[in-house]
Amino acid sequence: MNQPSTLRLERPTRQIARITFANPPVNLVIPESVVTLHRIVTELGEDPDVQVVIFDSEVPDYFINHFDAAAADDLPEPEHQGDNPVWTDMVLRLSKAPYISIAAIRGRTRGGGNELALACDLRYASREKALFGQPEVGIGMVPGGGGAQRLPRTIGRDRALEAILTSADYDADLAERWGWVTRTLPDAELDAFVDATAARLASFDRQALASAKAMVNRVTLPPDAELVTAYGEFEESMTRPGFLARAAGIGALVADQGLDVEYRLGEYIGLANQAPEPPQDATPDR
């Protein structure tokens, strides 16, 4: 029997699409997520009616988490020589799509999840519940989905270096001050604000929206080749002894502490090569 997809596509109106991510318990990105998302992003880009696409999650405490590195070998190879890797092709298509993409962020948003959010045109986050991180370096590898190319253009070189090199988690207030997100809102107001923004954009002329987005893209997006190169460096970094040793350390922490490691990954990364000891604070109520 086929497993249910980690993604659900809905069309609340002819002009608006909603992509909901659901891979409990911690919303890891798996190969099926990548393949399905690539297909959906491509199909919506060819739909003449779609003007706005919203990304959200139905798993509490997680928007879209990092990629499941243990499943990296299961990602499909490009169909033809010279084609981009499927993840890279997907985020490039999303950034350049004729529709406006909105990330409605509630919960942990790390690694590939953060890179997907950065590829969206607008990012609205729950002030109380959103959390951001680019944790690859702390696990002995490098970002491969566009984080190292997009984040410096979004928050500046030094702040991007801090976020990427420390592999820490950043709360929504700091993310808003740095420009990591478009704006934060009280959690109780997030959904209504995103829906109202989507409805407003959907009422505008589709060609004007797409043309204005393309104009901004020309002066803000990194070259495609930078993302392609980064993905190759990401794949290579997962073969190095540093990653293999730190992945084992994280695995030991997961065995000892369970899902709390994902919940507080930014704290636990610093313990990956130490005896498995939880952070001092009590785990917050979920």
Mean pLDDT per block of 10 residues along the chain (286 residues) reads: 85 98 96 96 98 97 92 82 92 98 98 98 98 96 97 98 97 98 98 98 98 98 97 95 90 91 92 56 50
pLDDT for 281 equals 60
Residue from 142, 150, 141, 145 nearest 121 by CA: 150
**What is the pTM assigned to this prediction?**
0.92
Q: 40 lies in a domain?
A: yes
Q: How many domains is the chain built from?
A: 1
Taking CA 41 as the corner, what is the angle to CA 37 and CA 43, rounded to the nearest 5 degrees? 115
Q: Has residue 122 been placed in a domain?
A: yes
The 3-state DSSP class for residue 251 equals helix
Hey, how many other C-beta atoms are within 10 angstroms of the C-beta on 215? 10
Residue numbers of the domain that contains 123: 7-204+221-236
Residues 220 and 233: their CA atoms lie apart, in Å, by 23
Instruction: Answer yes or no: are the C-beta atoms of 62 and 26 closer than 8 Å.
Output: yes
Cα torsion at 24, 51, 31, 259 (round to 10°)?
A: -20
* CATH number of the domain to which 127 belongs: 3.90.226.10
Q: What are the backbone angles phi and psi of residue 125, rounded to the nearest 5°?
A: -125, 145
Asked if residue 276 belongs to a domain, the reply is no
pLDDT for res 276: 45
Q: In angstroms, how far is CA 137 from the centroid of its own chain?
A: 16
The two structure tokens encoding residue 253: 């922490």
Domain-located, residue 2: no
Q: What is the pLDDT of residue 72?
A: 78
CB atoms within 10 A of CB 107: 21
- 111 inside domain: yes
Query: Is residue 262 situated within a structural domain?
Result: no
79 is a domain residue: yes
pLDDT at 175: 98
Task: Identify whether the C-beta of residue 136 lies closer than 8 Å to the C-beta of residue 85.
Answer: no
Answer yes or no: is 266 within a domain: no
- The residues that bridge with 183 in the sheet, in sequence order, are 124
CB 69 within 8 A of CB 114: no
Q: Which residues pair with 21 in a beta bridge?
A: 7, 57
